[in-house]
């Protein structure tokens, strides 16, 4: 069986910082209101010359460097984003060119905040099938470009950033099981229209790509959906919540993160939290949090890490992985799980 360990991680956020105090001068809100309801204190915002691909390229270079690999070593680049530089070419193709990864194929995935999880699951399948040995997986967003800065219900939530990892074929480590779900019937609870959206009889369509969200509905959905998705991946790997060394959830809202940890019976310190510094960075959220956890020394060899997320679609899912810096199973130990989808299809 071919495993796929994480060989290197990288993250990048723009230099520009937008604090809650800054937002108080823009819309009718307050630092206390934002912190109490979301846990967010600041977020990073891209400069006019920055794009999703430029942020992604910076994170990718860091991940490659930490993996001690050259761009020519890559077989595939997969980028997840809801804010591409344009309709095409893909962000992945722009990163592939920027790196000089001449051997690599490249394509994008769009599953909103679940995009990175979907891209990582895809990369795992390429490696497991023997079609690729090393895959660069990226989550990157410039959500500040699709935020309505007059809507206090959404503009306080989102930020810009990028996270990347290199997945490499190995004898041990990496994803054990995953599950991906979607319910398109609930799409209007969280969406953004764009220039290719529906047209009326005169051919007129949406001129803005603003994010629209039913906050109360999403909050209720998110806690339950992520908790159950984690339980599914644990069951598939024949493990229980007590086997989770670190929970790395989508960083959308501190109360949602705390709700998922509590529902799984995990102490607060086992949940990775950085939403206070970056806000909701959509598909960049999980790789940025995982990278920061590694930088903080929170991932010991053989640690079991549960990733979980939700987003527009509505889409949700989870992945359980084993952390390994060597790709070699520890003596007397090894993977108890089976690398496979927890189950196929949506609900």
Q: Which residue in 3, 280, 291, 308 is the catalytic one?
A: 280
Task: Tell me the DSSP string of 32-101.
Answer: HHHHHHH---EEE---TT--HHHHHHHHHHHHHHHHT--GGG-SEEEEE-SS-SSSSS-HHHHHHHHHT-
Contact 98, 53 (CB under 8 A): yes
Q: Which of 250, 274, 291, 308 is catalytic?
A: 250
For this structure, is 113 an active site residue? yes
Annotate 111-135 with DSSP letters as a single string: BTBTHHHHHHHHHHHHHHTTS-SEE
Q: Tokens 């108890």 — which residue?
A: 336
C-beta of residue 20 within 8 angstroms of C-beta of residue 31: yes
Using alpha carbons, select from 345, 340, 342, 337 the residue that is nearest to residue 172: 337
Catalytically annotated residue among 110, 113, 155, 308? 113
What's the rounded Cα separation, in Å, for the pair 297 and 113? 26
Q: Tell me if residue 343 is catalytic.
A: no
Beta strands in 264-311 (DSSP E): 304-311
Check if 280 is active-site. yes
- CA 53-135-72 angle, 5° bins: 80
> Which residues are known catalytic residues?
113, 250, 280
């Amino acid at each position: 069986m071919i495993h796929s360990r994480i060989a290197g991680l990288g993250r990048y956020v723009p230099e520009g910082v937008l604090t809650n105090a800054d937002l108080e001068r823009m819309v009718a809100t307050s630092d206390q209101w934002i912190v109490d309801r979301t846990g967010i204190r600041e977020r990073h915002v891209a400069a006019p010359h920055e794009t999703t691909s430029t942020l992604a390229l910076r994170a990718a270079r860091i991940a490659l460097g930490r993996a001690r690999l050259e761009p020519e070593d890559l077989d595939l680049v997969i980028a997840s984003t809801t804010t591409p530089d344009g309709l095409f070419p893909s962000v992945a193709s722009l990163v592939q060119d920027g790196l000089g990864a001449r051997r690599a194929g490249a394509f994008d995935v769009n599953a909103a905040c679940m995009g990175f999880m979907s891209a990582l699951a895809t990369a795992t399948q390429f490696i497991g099938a023997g079609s690729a040995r090393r895959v660069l997986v990226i989550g990157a967003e410039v959500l500040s470009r699709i935020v309505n800065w007059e809507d206090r219900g959404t503009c306080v939530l989102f930020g810009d950033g990028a996270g990347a990892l290199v997945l490499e074929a190995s004898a041990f480590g990496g994803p054990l099981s995953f599950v991906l779900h979607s319910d398109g019937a609930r799409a209007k609870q969280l969406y953004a229209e764009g220039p290719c959206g529906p047209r009326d009889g005169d051919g007129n369509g949406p001129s803005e790509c603003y994010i629209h969200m039913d906050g109360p509905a999403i909050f209720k959905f998110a806690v339950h959906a992520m908790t159950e998705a984690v339980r599914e991946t644990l069951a598939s790997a024949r493990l229980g919540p007590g086997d989770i060394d670190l929970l790395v959830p989508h960083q959308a809202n501190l109360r949602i993160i705390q709700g998922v940890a509590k529902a799984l019976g995990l102490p607060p310190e086992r949940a990775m939290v950085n939403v206070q510094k970056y806000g909701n960075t959509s598909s960049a959220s999980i790789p940025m949090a995982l990278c920061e956890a590694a930088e903080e020394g929170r991932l010991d060899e053989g640690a079991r890490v549960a990733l979980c997320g939700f987003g527009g679609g509505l889409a949700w899912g989870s992945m359980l992985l084993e952390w390994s810096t060597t790709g070699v199973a520890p003596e007397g130990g090894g993977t108890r799980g089976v690398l496979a989808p927890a189950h196929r299809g949506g609900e």
